[in-house]
């Protein structure tokens, strides 16, 4: 099934998502960064609220032309850790394969926004993949392989199955992980055949679903997630803390409960990476810490994600969460959800 996708400012204007006054101001944004918004997702936007959580994530804004000091086209240092084209080896026991540069929808805050889009090429070539598989084969310390992009589920089911089969043949690769927005942005692509393509009887398969607001979980998205879980694929979440999208305790709580209610274990809540033109989405770390502490005080432990930052340059991830443990002189104390401080016996 072909789902129409809005791919230009003119198309967004025709759909009523961009005003006549705003459209001319977006020409430079359109020239710089890819646009794609599937019509089913566009229909979910609350047109009475220009700051609707879905609209804000996917409809371009003139604020994207505001480039700040410290922002970078490669904010997490992919390039310096790429020994083979299309592969990133940042941590000793795992590698990341950028399987394709295209996405079903282009997020306005994407940390790879200067690396993705139709003009960047559709996918890795067969020769690229063979070089990557040779690298994985030659490095027995690689325990986990992560498929990303772009969105790796833009690949055909046949191509996804081929990648699964090649990776599960390496005895040292015990985990295959796919990072995708597809279940919430194009759930129609999550078919039983695609689920079979991702599943493995030899290797643990995880799929990280990227969503940032509970409203992304339509009935079709929920069905897509449950289909994947039914194929034995473990589902985890990843989200980005975004101003005007999920920067309240209520919105974050609703999002984490939405994940959990469809069998997705909340995993990562990312502090926004410093990609060009994304400062209008940035939530200060101190505010993020307060929000995550409030989540810990109000939600089940199953529903609380790790609040993390990718240190610029590709050093590593760092936890940003406030600790409930503090040292007082020669003793330790812990904070309770009631705000009280209690001595810790050791």
From 52, 56, 108, 110, active-site residue: 110
Q: Is 107 a catalytic residue?
A: yes
From 113, 225, 273, 307, active-site residue: 273
From 33, 74, 78, 107, active-site residue: 107
From 94, 166, 231, 296, active-site residue: 94
Residue listed under structure tokens 């990718």: 310
From 33, 52, 78, 90, active-site residue: 90
Tell me which H or E stretch contains 145.
strand 144-148
Q: Is 317 a catalytic residue?
A: yes
Mapped onto helix, strand or coil, the DSSP state of residue 178 is strand
Q: Is 7 a catalytic residue?
A: no
Q: Is 56 a catalytic residue?
A: no
Tokens representing 40?
């089913």
From 52, 103, 177, 293, active-site residue: 103
Mapped onto helix, strand or coil, the DSSP state of residue 339 is coil
Q: Is 50 a catalytic residue?
A: no
Contact, 247 vs 239, CB < 8 A?
Answer: no
Length of the chain: 346
Q: Is 91 a catalytic residue?
A: yes
From 7, 120, 231, 317, active-site residue: 317
Over the Cα atoms of the chain, what is R_g? 21
Residues 6+ apart with CB under 8 A from 119: 34
Beta-ladder partners of 265: 236
Residues 6+ apart with CB under 8 A from 201: none
Closest CA to 37 of 24, 20, 54: 54
From 56, 108, 112, 243, active-site residue: 112
Q: Is 225 a catalytic residue?
A: no
Q: What span, in angstroms and rounded, lies between the C-alpha atoms of 164 and 203?
A: 9
Closest CA to 258 of 237, 233, 241, 240: 237
Contact, 180 vs 152, CB < 8 A?
Answer: yes
Q: What span, in angstroms and rounded, lies between the C-alpha atoms of 235 and 263?
A: 7
In 10 A of CB 192, how many CB atoms?
12
From 25, 50, 91, 188, active-site residue: 91
Q: What span, in angstroms and rounded, lies between the C-alpha atoms of 101 and 118?
A: 7
Catalytic amino acids?
90-91, 94, 103, 107, 110, 112, 273, 310, 317
């Amino acid at each position: 099934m072909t789902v129409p996708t809005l791919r230009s400012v003119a198309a967004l204007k025709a759909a009523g998502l961009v005003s006549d006054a705003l459209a001319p101001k977006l020409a430079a944004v359109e020239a710089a960064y890819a646009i794609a918004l599937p019509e089913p997702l566009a229909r979910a936007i609350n047109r009475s609220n220009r700051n609707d959580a879905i609209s804000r994530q996917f409809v371009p804004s003139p604020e994207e032309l505001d480039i700040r000091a410290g922002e970078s086209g490669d904010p997490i240092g992919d390039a310096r850790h790429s020994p083979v084209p299309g592969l990133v080896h940042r941590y000793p026991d795992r590698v990341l394969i950028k399987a394709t540069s295209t996405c079903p929808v282009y997020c306005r805050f994407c940390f790879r926004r200067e690396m993705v889009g139709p003009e960047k090429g559709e996918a890795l070539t067969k020769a690229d993949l063979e070089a990557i598989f040779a690298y994985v084969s030659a490095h027995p310390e690689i325990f986990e392989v992560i498929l990303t992009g772009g969105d790796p589920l833009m690949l055909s089911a046949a191509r996804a199955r081929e990648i699964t089969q090649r990776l599960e043949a390496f005895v040292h690769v015990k985990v295959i992980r796919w990072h995708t927005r597809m279940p919430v942005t194009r759930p129609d692509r999550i078919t039983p055949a695609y689920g079979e393509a991702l599943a493995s009887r030899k290797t643990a398969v995880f799929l990280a679903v990227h969503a940032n607001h509970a409203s992304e979980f339509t009935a079709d998205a929920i069905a897509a997630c449950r289909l994947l879980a039914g194929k034995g694929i473990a589902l985890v979440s990843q989200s980005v803390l975004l101003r005007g999208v999920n920067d309240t305790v209520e919105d974050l709580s609703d999002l984490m409960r939405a994940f959990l209610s469809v069998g997705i274990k909340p995993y990562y809540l990312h502090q926004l990476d410093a990609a060009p033109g994304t400062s209008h989405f940035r939530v200060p770390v101190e505010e993020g810490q307060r929000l995550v502490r409030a989540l810990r005080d109000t939600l089940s432990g199953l529903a609380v994600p790790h609040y993390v930052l990718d240190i610029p340059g590709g050093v590593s991830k760092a936890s940003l969460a406030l600790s409930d443990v503090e040292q007082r002189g020669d003793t330790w104390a812990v904070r309770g959800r009631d705000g009280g401080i209690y001595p810790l016996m050791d």
